Amino acid sequence: MTKIYHNPRCSKSRQGLEILENSGKPFEIVKYLDDNLSAKALTEIVTLLGIKPIELVRKNEAIWKSDFKGKDLTDTEVIEAMANNPKLIERPIVINGKKAVIGRPPSLILDIL
């Protein structure tokens, strides 16, 4: 089943959710700000996306700028930073089986449906 990691306050995430709703296919919504993702779950997501953990970080967030910017972090440290500060996670993330995409722009979601 398709899964969207969703932040209702984010316009891109809402647009991604709308794409899934319009697809008519079943999907699951994960509000990752309410139910924090574990480091293990984030590692699995990064692997499915085929990216480095740093590519999943929202670098304009205040917490990134104040606590992490300019530091030489390992992939594990970046994952831990996102697990402990879920606002740092880029959104929306949509996973469909073994395919995953960051929905920026949201139209990218169509590629994996």
Do the beta carbons of residue 3 and residue 30 sit within 8 Å?
yes
Picking from 20, 73, 17, 79, the residue whose alpha carbon sits closest to that of residue 46 is: 79
How many independent structural domains does the chain possess? Answer: 1
Q: What is the pLDDT of residues 46-96, one digit of tens each?
A: 999 999 999 999 999 999 999 999 999 999 999 999 999 999 999 999 999
- State the catalytic residues: 10
Give the domain CATH number at 40. Answer: 3.40.30.10
Q: What is the pLDDT of residues 10-27, one digit of tens each?
A: 999 999 999 999 999 999
**Which residue range forms the structural domain that includes residue 65?**
2-112
